[in-house]
Amino acid sequence: MFILIPPFSETPFRILFASILIFFLPGYAFISAMFPGNREISGIERFTLSVGFSIVIMVFDGFLISLTVWKFRPNSIAISLVLLTFLFGIIAYLTRKRLPLEEQFSFSYKDFIYSLTAPETCNVEEEREVCYDEHIEDKRFAARNRKKIASMRKTSKEMKRPALQTGERLSPEITKTLIIAMVLSIVIAGSMFAYAKATREKETFTTLYILGPDGKAENYPENFSTSDPIQIIGGVENFEYAKINYTLEIILDGTTLNTMEITLDYEDKWEKELTITPTKSKQGKQKLELVLYKEGLEGFSYRTVHLWVNQVLSTEPVQTNEHEVIDFAEIVNPSMESEEGWEFITTNDTIATGYYMNNSGIYSSKAYVINASYEGMVNQYTTHTVQQIIHSNESANVVLSFYLKDTYTKGTADKDETQFKRIVFNNEVIWTDGIYGDEGWQHVEIPVTLQEGNNTLTFMLLQEKLQELHPVEVIIDEVTFIPESALSPYIKEDNTVEFELPTSCVLPLPKTSNSKFTVEWNGTDSESGIYYYDIQYSTDGIIWKNWITKTITTSAEFEGKEGYTYYFKSKSVDNALNEEGNKSTYDASTTVDTSAPTIELDITPNPTSDITYLTVEASKPLLSVKCVITPRNFGASENIELATNDNITWTSKYAVEVQDTYDIEITAKDYSNNTAYTFGTLYTDETLEELTIDFEPSKTSDEVEITVTSSTALEEEPTVVVKDRYGYKLEVNYESSDDNEYIYTATTDDDDLDYTIHDGTARVTVTAKTVDSLTLYEEDTFIIDRVDPTIKSISPEEEATINKDSISITASYSDDRAGIDKTKITLLVNGIDVTDNAEIDYSSIYYLAEGLENGKVEVQLTVTDQAGNTEKDEWVFYVSA
């Protein structure tokens, strides 16, 4: 852990633990496996051999690791030494277990220190004798001189002996063998290390790095925007022992910003300040990557390094290019808004005319129209032109820009064309295009040379002779000269400029807002993409003011005044400088209202035995209403959802499960996040009376009978209100009563009403007072369906001829609201009712007609839904068996 795992590996303990791992542990485990007993070698010998063999094992291990894919690396060496130590430890454990317990080696710090400090006085040749001194507890007496007392000695079996005895030594032959083996191992290990060092291939690599603006690996920039780019320093250094061609790719949020080719010799370094500007507006954290490739972009990246940066939205206007103005040549009426400057000429005034027309231009303004209304053939070429002589004070190369549209949308472009749009400048055809295909508006930019003096510009519709001609209008608008520097980068080979008008809108706003609120907008352009937005606002929807212009942001905070309603609309411009058309109405609106709403809670009935209805009435539209019901004695709080159709009245049905007293808390928020509270208490009583509601029928197309039954006597007949799914009231009439049972009728007829009753679920609410002045309440629903069912997919088909006398007659049908009443379906074949022999379900009918005579067969199918609406279909087919 202290060697490999940060942050532990960054402490001084790394050196201590690494030294123990390299110079002691592997050899100690190995020696423990070789000498598992406590009599074979002494402690100092065990320690010395552990250090020596650790060095040997490390060298051998390093040599072998360098031949593998892991190479000679700190991580690979450390892991391999740990694994070898673990392996030797297991072997040592197994070999040690094979010895008697008293002969197994175990480490004792006290005995180890004693073995290092105690002098030798014993004769090693006398194997059964033991030295005694004051350090040995088990002795008969203390001798002044350390002499062998043969007559008083104890055998090794009778006396407990320490694990490490300096008196017990290996024979000189074994000691010599071990020393020779250790020396040879060190010599071999050193030779292998020298060989590995001499034959090791030189390590080749390349460094790729990012530095902050001050050239250090710190103070990296964090925030940037389209108007406020960031600067970093990118660097590449070559240690490949060869000349390398690199490709450096700069990527921001998955988008390639730039690609650089870099060639470096060995030990050469490349550093450059890089300016990072986002190509699109996207708020939030983004990944900035430098990706390095060797010898081109093919294959995998060689090195990568990245930063996380945060893009913030800039509200500064986009810097648009300002071009010089062509003021030495003036076009009269270039936008076609007046009726001067342009002259219409035709070779056949019976088939074409030219005129100015309102609301036909590119931006719904006035434009010039060449109207060729003739359909058929002509015997000679005809031309219809609108032209102007333009005076220039100097000769110059400029770009002619205009908008053109033809109204013929059929045919295939450039195939069998018979009519052509042409542009002629100074008697030279500079642009031509057929009318086939639905091209819409075309924005054309053509480089031309203005000559000093008069220049003639002609827009022409050419019609070929002896060819089928179709009526067409050619519309011309916004004719101008622009400098060559203003030529659009989105121009195509046919000199047309991308002309998909962008669209944009301000996103919906809440009905009411605080004085400060966020306005959001977005836009789309399928070709060149959105360049910028202009956002306008108004307080009356008529007079508009600029709020934000030439912005690439998609949201901003607006501050308004209390009581004012603010209207917003957007206009977008794409990168080809196509402008979105002017909008006649606003995109979104909101009213600044900082006053808190007032709310009232109604609980009916209260008290209740099982069901009650909660109604919250607000003084203004609410964004949300939360209801928390908490029993005082049993159970936990419960959140109840309330529904609304108008955001003013919110309702919910609540079923009481336990007889208790309930505290009700209502929290309401309006669209300005103003909050209002109200509270109520719901009481329960199982002895309360109740109302029940029954319908006949429960699904109706005309009239329904409503029966209200009370479990107790009432002061008067209940009040019954019936509303359709949109809240419009049905006409309800009281019919009769009998012993707490009250009968009403409700009709779906709306002929005498000033509104329409809608099909769907109708809600019935009943309120009544008992003779004890207790309020009872109940509600229920029934279905209104006045739409006939649909019969489809009949077989055989109408007027079909069948060449056999056994025929399957089938049909499918459906009803979207009440559903089909299959008991009222009838099928007649040649006037005979065969319904009982048919297979009928709720969506189809099947009947096998056998023995039909040749000739016409008449089929009649009648389908009725559960609301009583009936649909009948009749058809015939023929049998020719």
pLDDT above 90 covers a percentage of the chain that reads: 46
Please give the pLDDT value at position 161.
Answer: 45
In the structure, what pLDDT confidence band is assigned to residue 123 with cuts at 50, 70 and 90? Answer: very low
The CA distance from 118 to 131, in Å, is 11
In terms of phi and psi (left: phi > 0; alpha: psi -120 to 50; beta: otherwise), the region of 426 is left
Q: Residue 249: what are its φ and ψ, rounded to 5°?
A: -115, 130
**202 against 710, higher pLDDT:** 710
The CA distance from 521 to 558, in Å, is 13
- pLDDT, tens digit, for every residue of 654-690? 988 877 899 999 999 988 888 999 999 998 876 667 8
- pLDDT, tens digit, for every residue of 601-623? 999 888 888 889 999 999 988 98
Lowest mean pLDDT among 39-53, 88-102, 392-406: 39-53
Angle, vertex CA 229, rays to CA 289 and CA 491, nearest 5: 90
- 522-533 average pLDDT score: 88
Does the pLDDT at position 856 exceed 80? Answer: yes
SS3 readout for 668-694: EEECCCCEEEEEEEECECCCCCCEEEE
- Sequence-separated (6 or more) residues with CB below 8 Å from residue 109: none
Please give the pLDDT value at position 373.
Answer: 92
Does the pLDDT at position 580 exceed 70? Answer: yes
Residue 194 DSSP one-character state: H
The answer to whether the Cα torsion of 749, 751, 752, 756 is positive or negative is: positive
Is there a contact between 54 and 27 (Cβ–Cβ < 8 Å)? yes
Beta bridge partners of 107: none
Q: Among 169-173, 285-289, 369-373, 776-780, name the most confident range.
A: 369-373
**Cis preceding linkage at 697, omega within 30:** yes
- 844-864 average pLDDT score: 92
In the structure, what pLDDT confidence band is assigned to residue 104 with cuts at 50, 70 and 90? Answer: confident
- pLDDT, tens digit, for every residue of 213-240? 888 888 899 888 766 789 999 999 998 8
- pLDDT, tens digit, for every residue of 389-434? 999 999 999 999 999 999 999 988 888 899 999 999 999 999 999 9
**85 against 566, higher pLDDT:** 566
Q: Mean pLDDT, the chain, as a whole number?
A: 84
The CA distance from 548 to 15, in Å, is 63
The CA distance from 650 to 623, in Å, is 11
Residue in 367, 373, 434 with CA at minimum distance from that of residue 403 = 367
The CA distance from 766 to 589, in Å, is 40
The CA distance from 295 to 301, in Å, is 10
The CA distance from 698 to 867, in Å, is 8
Please give the pLDDT value at position 21.
Answer: 72
The CA distance from 343 to 353, in Å, is 11
The CA distance from 537 to 532, in Å, is 17
* Structure token digits, residue 302: 């060689």
Please give the pLDDT value at position 110.
Answer: 62
Does the pLDDT at position 153 exceed 50? Answer: no
- Sequence-separated (6 or more) residues with CB below 8 Å from residue 260: 247, 248, 249, 250, 272
What is the number of other CB atoms lying within 10 angstroms of the CB of residue 717?
15
Is there a contact between 385 and 376 (Cβ–Cβ < 8 Å)? no
- 330-336 average pLDDT score: 93
Please give the pLDDT value at position 283.
Answer: 62
Does the pLDDT at position 313 exceed 80? Answer: no
Helix-then-strand count for the chain, H and E: 6, 52
State the distance between the two ends of the chain, measured CA to CA, in whole angstroms: 94
Q: What residue spans of 580-625 are helical by DSSP H?
A: none
- 850-874 average pLDDT score: 92
For residue 708, which amino acid is it?
A: V
Q: Residue 851: what are its φ and ψ, rounded to 5°?
A: 70, 30
- pLDDT, tens digit, for every residue of 461-514? 999 999 989 999 999 999 999 998 888 888 888 888 877 889 999 999 988 888
The CA distance from 840 to 846, in Å, is 7
What is the number of other CB atoms lying within 10 angstroms of the CB of residue 726?
11
Q: Residue 378: what are its φ and ψ, rounded to 5°?
A: -125, 155
> What are the angstrom distances between the C-alpha of 325 and each of 206, 482, 484, 826?
53, 7, 11, 83
- 366-376 average pLDDT score: 94
In the structure, what pLDDT confidence band is assigned to residue 547 with cuts at 50, 70 and 90? Answer: very high
pTM of the model: 0.41
Does the pLDDT at position 136 exceed 50? Answer: no
- pLDDT, tens digit, for every residue of 162-204? 444 444 455 566 665 666 666 666 666 656 655 655 555 667 8
Beta bridge partners of 370: 354, 474
- Sequence-separated (6 or more) residues with CB below 8 Å from residue 68: 76
> What secondary structure does DSSP assign to 80-121, as a single string?
HHHHHHHHHHHHHHHHHHTS-GGGB----HHHHHHHHHPPP-
> What are the angstrom distances between the C-alpha of 805 and each of 794, 802, 833, 837, 839?
18, 8, 19, 17, 19
- pLDDT, tens digit, for every residue of 691-709? 899 999 999 999 999 999 9
